Structure 1
Amino acid sequence: MSRIAHVATICAALAMSLPAYAQTPAAPPAAGKIANDMVKIGVLTDMSGQFSHESGEGSVTAVKMAVEDFGGKVLGKPIEVIVADHQNKTEIAIAKAKEWFDVDKVDMIANLINSAVAIGVAGVAKEKNGIAIINGSGSSRLTGDMCTPNSIHYAYDTYALAVGTGNALIKQGKKNWFFLTADYAFGHALEADTASVVKAGGGSVVGSVRYPINTLDHGSFMLQAQGSGADVIAVAGSGTVFINAVKAAHDFGLTQSGKQSLAGLLVWITDIHSMGLENAQGLVLTNAFYWDRDDETRAFSKRFEARMGRKPHMGDAGDYSSTILYLKAVEAAGTDEAQAVMAKMREMKVNDFFAKNGYIRADGRFIHDMYVYQVKSPSESKGPWDYYKLVQVIPGEQAFRPLSQSQCPLIKK
């Protein structure tokens, strides 16, 4: 997709979702009731495109595991999980969300990787009085100017990624930054949030270049970054394009020179597995979850790997944890009516393998600790998936944008 076409798609999605904010939600079911005698969860994700390794079958598996572990029923009614591939096309995602809420009577839509998709579907959830829980997408606008009373941003966001990785490298004295940025909503937000952290820490942005979302060859971009003299080359992108960028950096000798550091501003452990430690070693990253963090994470990851053939990442863990939270809230509310369930989720604390004392703020942001890691060298790794060493734990209250800086219209200033 060309840059112009992609931008047009995002604009169209926002145009479709924005009017929804003024509309009156549908009438709720009677208290203590489950509409249509079923709670239905829709996993709307990328099943086949460049983000499918960060969502796709993994997100579906995580949601289904949560439903099974909950017992398959809530308030005596069955829980059904349905799946659709949005193909990274915002117009497809919005149309499917409307169909799910109107025709299929879906109560909650999960995952929503691709930030333009997530922003659009969050608007539909508000219009239709459904619920959207976002784990795949990262744009901090989801709890900023595009927040809704019907959506939750759960696993991570661009602000938290920027705070973790940006501050970690600034503290190492690496203050001059160059950005390789994916040219879509998520990439733009990630660059903006990280640049703010860099400048606040006394650093500077010496240059940036934006690459089309489906770029395969990063050679010319990497040469430009290398020639900038920046201390840090920061890749503000995700998926297979991010993997190609890291491989290009290795091919051009950028990481081996010792003069410049490569920062992955959104890194999934599946990315590291795909590119190999030889290419990824030394990469600094921020994450919400690592399978080998403690006994609880290892126990969940063992069960997940038995079904998926790989370790889970923060999106998988977030999809599981947030689905359990949603079902507990339905049970506590005595109904699947969206606002009643949202109110219960905001009251609850989450204490599971994903988060300790996690909670949902008024802007829909799920607050929990974040972690800064560095990728191990091949000699440091003890085997498959042993990829990270802990650099820093960032408390949740420090990891995410403070409400005093929020542009969310739900927050009273």
Structure 2
Amino acid sequence: MEKSNIIPLLRNHQQSAAFLLLCAALMTAPAVFAQDFWKPGKYSVGFYKPWNTPLPHSWKVDVTYPKGNSGSFPLIFMFNGMECQASWYKDIVDHVASWGYVIVQYTTGFFYPLGEGEREEVEYLTPLLRWLEKEASVNGNVWWHKLAGKIDFSRKAVMGHSRGGKLASLHYANSTNNFTTAVLFDPVDCSLVAQGDKHPSAIAALAGVNAACDVIHPAPHGTSTLSAAIIGAGITGGVCNPLENNAHAFFRTLSTESLYIKVKEAGHMTFAQPPKPASQTSCSPYTIYNRMCGSCRCSKITSQEVISEARTMAVAWLESKLRPSQDTTAHLARYKEHLMTLRVKGVETVHWPFKGVSAGSLLGTDVEVSAGAAAANRMEEL
């Protein structure tokens, strides 16, 4: 065979080998999914409504979890606002669960929060946690059980809106159940309708002080060693998110490692949304609370946009605390850039705690497809 014919033949073999190498690398490289925290995660979401929980008063429990057999996931307890329903937070909960989290909610009866108070209610979480451990036990349940093997109890966090943010903070401040962190949606501590020893101050608890709501004086920022992610409403005051006991007061008390975002034209109830239009009639509880909290005025930002930013912040913070990695850091940089684009909507990043992570600082970093990219570069060289 002449030399001139051998060279093209060899080049064809080299290119074929490179193509096979590229295919193999792409098959073995980790799958790319949801690189931006505001996009849904890679898991479809399942729902479970158990009836045999240890909670009193026949309170209903809702469990949202990632489907499939991909191992165990961190556990998140989500606490509703006062007299709010678990379903009002569906958009937030579904989004976070799609990123690989098991989320547990319960709904109290009307008027319970004011009558019994948080000091009694916080005692109910430990029995609920023990019940969940049995439900998720692989050995203790038959193979088809929805939660069997799905929960990693070594990684736990809390979330909450309004009074639920207070409950989340009380649990976070108490080391009994070892929660790693907290995500707070316009949290509220003390109010005119929640006074006395039955209503302990969460702001005080975060600072390591046991105080009732009638004697608490908000501590200055930095007195707590605990950090959290907070998104707060710009419309404040009144009974819903009173001054000195709202999101800003929580931020002043938490450590300087906390994330704080403020939506200037959001009202207190903008972070919740009933799933059905029928739930928003003029006499519905949600509509009454919405008007009472000043959330109904015309705004540059819609309730859907506020909820989208709340759930995005939740995923960003939980990933940074429960799944820290180079990939998470790259996505945090993209999240910071995303927040900067929202300034025209009145979304203000009051405090960004991630040192060395700024908008554009790590954009373009994509460790998930590095193997495939290397193979592609090698093919071009040939």
Identify, as 1 or 2, the structure richer in helix.
1
Band of TM-score, shorter chain: 0.3 to 0.5
Q: Normalising by the residue count of structure 2, what TM-score does the alignment of the two structures yield?
A: 0.38
Q: Which has the larger radius of gyration?
A: 2
